[in-house]
Structure 1
Amino acid sequence: MAPVPSRRVCVYCASSSHDRELLDIATEVGAEIARRGWSLVSGGGNVSMMGAVAEAARAGGARTVGVIPEGLRVREVADTSADELIVVTSMRERKREMEERSDAFLTLPGGIGTMEEMFEMWTSASLGFHHKPVVLYDPIGFYTPLLDWVRGLADAGLVKPEAFDALVVCTTLDEALDACGGRR
């Protein structure tokens, strides 16, 4: 029987915040990905939360794959310590590479880029274009206003209620990573 390949989790998160609480969340996520024997797929930057999750994953022995557009390589300070760093030409190519290389998508606090990535994977899953878990890890209520807004869209008939089945919202790390498809 062939060995089971490592779970490959794509983590979307901020690349510009220096908030200690957010950096600690990212560090905990990276460490737990490693503890579970999984691999990390990230946006390829070594700063802020993106850098913290990658550093913690590597420190725990996880394989890390970063995907970064050439235009952001210098601005986000590319994660040259990644086991594999893929430099692409555009954000669209970045997202495609990350999707193809991942078994699940985990969103942490972040800005408009993080939102755009999460919404694309959530929408694609809700339409049946992929069947990979899309998980929102929100231990501090960061996304409460956003989720309330989306629920308002559903109340107005603009979002189908079953779309919410394609997004798993978790407040604990174990719950979030279990939802990514792998029990401890």
Structure 2
Amino acid sequence: MILSTYDRLATTLDRVAPNLLPLLARLTFAGVLLTYFWKSALTKVGDGIFGVFSPSLGAYAQIFPKAMEAVGYDASQLGLFHWAVVVAGTLAEFILPLLIMLGLFTRLAALGMIGFIAVQSLTDLFGHGGIAHDGTLGAWFDGAPDALILDQRGFWVLGLLVLVGLGGGWLSADRLIRNGLSARPVSQPQ
């Protein structure tokens, strides 16, 4: 009796989980990280309607802290490479979370966010000196779940890996597009 009930429950979960887990991962991402990344991106935008293409001084200081220190915080002394990275990073902070929230190109957007979080973490550790502070990197299996990098961002990446592996799930633009494409009649060659 107990085993058959468990088996029925497991069978139902096997059927539902591939669509429910991605939806929950997207909702959790939107509820926890969407505003975080957008607020961070807003600190990087310069003045005017095209401010994303004229990044703020803070954008350069956040992304290239050591290079900015070396040039006395004069971003005009940095090159095209630095500008391109700052603009791309700022755009990524706006666009990738939006794509995840909408469930549009979900796998690619989640993979991009994982890369973004890896670069963000390395910059926090080595660019901003977080590696020198106890607790910033943290350690797994230490009984303290509050480290900024390994603990917190490990959970961020886990949720994103669900999206990489399973896609957007229910209520995603990916699903609407896929269903729309599969509903089209296939034309026959003449």
| TM-score, L = length of structure 1 | 0.22
Task: Flag the structure with higher helix content.
Answer: 2
Higher relative contact order (CA 8 A, sep 6+): 2
- Structure whose residues are more often strand by fraction: 1
TM-score, normalisation: structure 2: 0.22
